[in-house]
Structure 1
Amino acid sequence: MNPRNATRMRLYDDLKWRGLIHQTTDDGLADWLEAKPRTVYAGFDPTADSLHVGSLLGLLVLRRFQQAGHQPIAVVGGATGMIGDPSGKSAERNLLDREQLAANVEGMGAQMRRFLDFDCGDSSASLLNNHDWTAGWSYLEFLRDIGKNFPVNVMLGKDSVKSRLGGDAGLSYTEFSYMLLQAYDFVWLNQNHGCELQAGGSDQWGNITAGIDLARRMHGQQLYGVTWPLLTKSDGTKMGKTEGGAIWLSADRTSPYEFFQYWRNVDDADVGGCLRMLTELSHEEIESLDKSREADAAKRESQVRLAEELTRLVHGDEGLAVARRATEIFFGAEIAELDDKQLGSIFADVPSSEVPKARLAGEGLGVLEAFSLAGLAKSNGEARRTVSAGGAYVNNRRVEDPTQQLTATDLASETVMVLRSGKKRYALLRFVE
């Protein structure tokens, strides 16, 4: 774990400076946190076998609490995930079966261990699944012991419920019950783990306050809540979304290169907030980057620093090295020692053509014909002129001889050859059986 911020300011003040405080249930929360180590939890819905950028913010908030000496609990919703949280949703989710949920819980749990320390004494993190303490309830028992403590008029007043009741989709009884389950999570964690604070995104405010109210009604216990703002761009859209879908923390779903490039291309209007909320850079360095951006935004120092820090945090030094190498390749570095998947990630938006692998046998495929097949030249004559002008490249190595024959030794990976015309016009040839 990294040490606390060099400024040595209180945790709450640091969170506030970073824009991570949206609402709190108590004005004295800052002093309460400083009085002694506390146990805090945040929940994560297992809707996939990987966490995404939206989940990253919650993990990093728990990480900051742990670095300040508090004990974090990450709760994976094996039970609540079977229902689906209506908060912030315009329609009901598709329900997952038990097998898929179990696989998702396992995948997310493995990722969480990259961010939280589960073996550091009194502040060790815990990873829990709420299915473990809810699976034994019968429907009648739950209504008798938990449901009776929930005034329906209070539930109807929650924004997460009101917004859905006013829409065309409505709200099913299943989703309506979600609040009861999450509220009971907080009570159970308090009774069994001494947890007194729940943290969550701003869309969880209703669920958090429901848990606080339930603890008061059931046990006369005072609990607390804090929310962070949702990770959004300056235009109001969610951060971590692309045309291809979510930005995942799993390298199998979003490669280190794609992850790096996403943050490398964040708008100037958004990068300052991302540096504060998502990195562990000191206040001094972030403010220095702010000044650098104001002086010369075109240098994109803030974006590069953000991309480096987050890629290292999520994918480690090895992942960052792969991302940097891939970036260099896209801008002209010679291509070597990459596989099909890595090349496909780097050149995801580059046109490609399939060619029978047999064309590489014997004397091989003429380089001029290769450029024609790839669509980088309309004819062999045009390809010859490109070679003569010094603008033809195979795997980012300049082609000097227009009579060159390409064989299997010229593949950049198992099946792919990368062709380039000029500085940035790329195409791929995929050699298939």
Structure 2
Amino acid sequence: MNIPVKSEFLKIMIERGFVHQITDLQNLDLQTCNTQLSGYIGFDCTASSLHVGSLIQIMMLRWFQKTGNKPIVLMGGGTTKIGDPSGKDSARPVLSIEKIEENQVSIKSIFKKFLKFGNNSNDAIMVDNSSWLENINYISFLRDFGSSFSINKLINLESVKLRLEREQNLSFLEFNYSLLQAYDFLQLNKHYGCSLQMGGSDQWGNIVTGLELIRKKTSKQAFGLTSPLLTTSSGSKMGKSANGAVWLNENELSNWDFWQYWRNTEDPDVIKFLRLFTELPLTEISKLEKLKGAEINEAKIILANEVTKLCRSEEEALRISNGAANTFNNVMTDNALPSEIISNLEIKFIEALRILKFVNSNGEARRLIKGNGAKINDIVINDENYSLSKEDFNNGHVKISSGKKKHGLLIKK
């Protein structure tokens, strides 16, 4: 996308590939040049962590603040109780209030790594939409806002239309989600001067609904900006791996596995991800773009290091990068590897693979071993009945490998 803009924020968004759609680009550019904007992105509390599919939105907020604007993180304590139908073929599971609150506390910690919170003019703030949604009187809401929403438009929202076209159930509960998201935008506009909502491309219809509500109720102009829906070159949805979701919270996914996810990026995606998920200068990324063949691995390591620095810590990125180099060079053990503590040294090899979560079942472990894909201390073991013994342990630990990329330690208690 090569669109001439003057504001630093929009230049970064466009040059790095963050933009899918924008409402009234010219006026948004003008306002971003002349004033400090407040903008928000909403995050529902459906799990105890966000996964890397949300990282593009978090980076948008980070660049927004770095260019002098004020980011608002909207926690969906209220909307999580309804469930966003966007991108879903069926209703999301209904979570208890206690679980939603627990998830929210866990998710909050992620943003402290990316944004500066405080009392300065462009310091980020975090708001929970339950503070206004919980107090809505249904009759009053319908009288005050019902006439501002067109059913004709609502049923043509992508999230609604797809369900109806596939003849999949869409509950009235979920149908209300777009109305509540629009109401969120109105509340943030009134109380925090928020004039920009950002989000993924699947939120476009909801965002536009909010813009229209603000215009009808306040006569003010607000803006929307969406990022593209990211998939890998092989067509996989961003944030998913063979072993499940790639979580941002360390207690949901080890630093080693997080680093490895980025290190294993498909070749055609490396440069795109460097632009989106790191703060490396574009001139430096352009140099990496010229790497060919096996040299691309250098760019993958830089990607893994830079993303791990942002999401976990610089120390962890360095430790794991060095540990990965040691593993590649067949150094027997390294503290950077994921590890599990065991009390019994004499355990089945199959059990060892399961303890380290390299396989999900005994059958999968047997197939891996028979196929020469499992190793103990870098030596292939193809006996599915093999049991580890004290001879396998070196200074109280043993290295277990699955294929070329998964390695872990079992440590004697």
Quote the Cα distance in structure 1 between the aligned partners of 2:212 and 2:204.
Answer: 12
SS at match of 1:137: coil
Length-normalised TM-score, structure 2: 0.82
2:43 counterpart of 1:44: yes
- Deviation, 1:45, is 1.4
Contact 1:351 1:426 in 2 (8 A): no
Indicate which of 309, 315, 318 corresponds to 1:318: 315
Q: Which amino acid aligns with 2:284?
A: E
- Deviation, 1:336, is 5.4
Which residue is 1:26 aligned to? 24
- Deviation, 1:256, is 1.0
Q: Which amino acid aligns with 1:13?
A: K
1:206-225 equivalences in 2 (<5 Å): 206-225=205-224
Output the aligned Cα RMSD.
3.3
Quote the Cα distance in structure 2 between the aligned partners of 1:343 and 1:282.
Answer: 42
Quote the Cα distance in structure 1 between the aligned partners of 2:20 and 2:181.
Answer: 20
Quote the Cα distance in structure 1 between the aligned partners of 2:224 and 2:405.
Answer: 53
Quote the Cα distance in structure 2 between the aligned partners of 1:315 and 1:136.
Answer: 37
Contact 1:353 1:429 in 2 (8 A): no
SS at match of 2:77: coil
Q: Which amino acid aligns with 2:100?
A: L
- Deviation, 1:146, is 2.3
Quote the Cα distance in structure 1 between the aligned partners of 2:405 and 2:15.
Answer: 44
Q: Which amino acid aligns with 1:230?
A: L
Quote the Cα distance in structure 1 between the aligned partners of 2:30 and 2:241.
Answer: 40
Quote the Cα distance in structure 2 between the aligned partners of 1:86 and 1:428.
Answer: 39
Q: Which amino acid aligns with 1:330?
A: T
CA change 1:269–1:156 in 2 (3 A) is same
Q: Which amino acid aligns with 1:36?
A: T
SS at match of 2:48: coil
Gaps (5+ residues) in structure 1? 1-7, 345-349, 355-374, 379-391, 397-403
Which residue is 2:72 aligned to? 73
Q: Which amino acid aligns with 1:319?
A: E
Q: Which amino acid aligns with 1:323?
A: I
Structure 1 stretch displaced more, 9-18 or 201-210: 9-18
- Deviation, 1:118, is 0.4
CA change 1:424–1:243 in 2 (3 A) is closer
CA change 1:301–1:166 in 2 (3 A) is same
1:106-129 superposed Cα distances (whole Å, 9 cap, x missing partner): 111111111110037210001111
CA change 1:337–1:286 in 2 (3 A) is closer
1:366-393 superposed Cα distances (whole Å, 9 cap, x missing partner): xxxxxxxxx79x9xxxxxxxxxxxxx98
Structure 1 stretch displaced more, 112-121 or 195-204: 112-121
Which residue is 1:359 aligned to? none
Indicate which of 378, 386, 411 corresponds to 2:396: 411
Contact 1:42 1:198 in 2 (8 A): yes
1:299-358 superposed Cα distances (whole Å, 9 cap, x missing partner): 4122111101000111102321342244245332242557974689xxxxx95446xxxx
1:7-406 equivalences in 2 (<5 Å): 10-28=8-26, 29-119=28-118, 121-293=120-292, 296-331=293-328, 332-335=330-333, 341=339, 352-353=350-351, 406=391
Q: Which amino acid aligns with 2:331?
A: A
Quote the Cα distance in structure 2 between the aligned partners of 1:124 and 1:54.
Answer: 24
Q: Which amino acid aligns with 1:264?
A: R
CA change 1:418–1:213 in 2 (3 A) is same
CA change 1:291–1:140 in 2 (3 A) is same
1:8-56 superposed Cα distances (whole Å, 9 cap, x missing partner): 9722122111111110110312222111110000011111111110111
Contact 2:259 2:320 in 1 (8 A): yes
SS at match of 1:122: coil
Count matched residues.
Answer: 375
Contact 1:352 1:429 in 2 (8 A): no
SS at match of 2:225: strand
Q: Which amino acid aligns with 2:399?
A: V
CA change 1:102–1:131 in 2 (3 A) is same
Contact 1:272 1:290 in 2 (8 A): yes
Length-normalised TM-score, structure 1: 0.79
- Deviation, 1:235, is 3.5
Quote the Cα distance in structure 2 between the aligned partners of 1:238 and 1:170.
Answer: 23
Quote the Cα distance in structure 1 between the aligned partners of 2:407 and 2:236.
Answer: 32
Q: Identity of paired residues, percent?
A: 37
1:239-260 superposed Cα distances (whole Å, 9 cap, x missing partner): 2211211100111211111111
Gaps (5+ residues) in structure 2? 1-5, 343-347, 353-368, 380-388
1:123-146 superposed Cα distances (whole Å, 9 cap, x missing partner): 000111101111111222222222
CA change 1:216–1:335 in 2 (3 A) is same
Quote the Cα distance in structure 1 between the aligned partners of 2:63 and 2:408.
Answer: 44
- Deviation, 1:88, is 1.4
- Deviation, 1:418, is 2.6
Which structure's CA Rg is the greater one?
A: 1
Quote the Cα distance in structure 2 between the aligned partners of 1:207 and 1:305.
Answer: 36
CA change 1:167–1:121 in 2 (3 A) is same
